[in-house]
Homo-oligomer: A and B are copies of this chain.
Amino acid sequence: MNPTPRLTSASAPLVQDVSVVDEYGARRIISIPAERALTVFVDKRELVTLMTLGAAPELLVLGYLRNQRLVESLADIDSITVDWDVNAAAVKTRAGIERFDEKTAKRIVTTGCGQGTVFGDLMNELDTLHLPRVDDPRSRLSQATLYGLLNAMRVQESTYKSSGSVHGCALFCQDQLLTFVEDVGRHNAIDTIAGWMWLHGVQGADKIFYTTGRLTSEMVIKSAQMSVPIVVSRSGITQMGLELAQRLRMALFGRATNRHFICYCGFERFDAQPEPARPAPV
């Protein structure tokens, strides 16, 4: 058995009360999501500064290292120590990171709302990603299960409901919610889920990934890196997200709320149980 990294549990308040003025000229107090800079140091070398809600910073750092392909095995990490007093995450590896400079040199600025960073050659890595076959019964989704999943998200308590302005991500096995993460950046949220899966040895083949954000290329790549073949979003899609998912034979569902959705691709992973037809206009 591999040694597990030692992690702190440095969570912090997720919302902050601020005083605002509304259209009635009334001053009132509302909650906004917290946001903190977290500078990641690997063996005392500065790697990156992430802006995060701070709900699960150790898992965020773990997933970031994983998704950026900076660390290959959990056993390579000795510890992750987050200290909000200095806004720093100190990663200690057991034997250093090979080719650190090379791995962190290349940038691709991706969609998101932002100009995201993907180190390395993720695009080139696509063909090496192994997703379950489309006829694998574990890797399919029925319409009833999709509705169950959407209902689970509907009733989930969240920072979003109390203060807005965050993205949520969740991992499902069928319609059972396994973990739910929010962050000010949706790539942080998915990285945190990747960290959770990695830490707990959870495989992706029979899982479904839910995001409140758009189905962009980066979200598709990160799902594929976690071997999760099905992604459901409350939002829409971008062209690169669709093209990558088609190439990877993933199933993407968007505009998904209540009993409404669009299946953009991967129909062959979907067991439709169609709603009765819309009544014709009189």
Residues of A within 8 A of B (CB): 16, 18, 20-26, 30, 32-37, 48-51, 107-117, 143, 163-165, 167, 184-188, 213-214, 216-218, 235-242, 259-264, 267, 270, 272, 274-278
Please determine whether B261 and A22 come into contact, CB atoms closer than 8 angstroms: yes
Which residue of the partner chain, among B24, B33, B114, contacts A278 with CB atoms under 8 Å?
B24
* CA distance in complex: A21, B269 (Å): 13
Chain B residues with CB under 8 Å of A107's CB are 48-49, 107, 117
* CA distance in complex: A237, B26 (Å): 19
Please determine whether A263 and B115 come into contact, CB atoms closer than 8 angstroms: no
Closest residue of chain B to A238 (Cβ to Cβ) is B35
Please determine whether B263 and A113 come into contact, CB atoms closer than 8 angstroms: no
Please determine whether A186 and B18 come into contact, CB atoms closer than 8 angstroms: no
Question: Given the interface contacts A23-B259, A30-B262, A239-B34, does A113 sit within 8 Å of B274 by beta carbon?
Answer: no
Which residue of the partner chain, among B26, B35, B188, B272, contacts A240 with CB atoms under 8 Å?
B35
Please determine whether A272 and B21 come into contact, CB atoms closer than 8 angstroms: yes
Given A23-B143, A113-B216, 7 new contacts (CB under 8 A): A21-B267, A32-B264, A33-B238, A35-B216, A35-B239, A51-B216, A51-B238
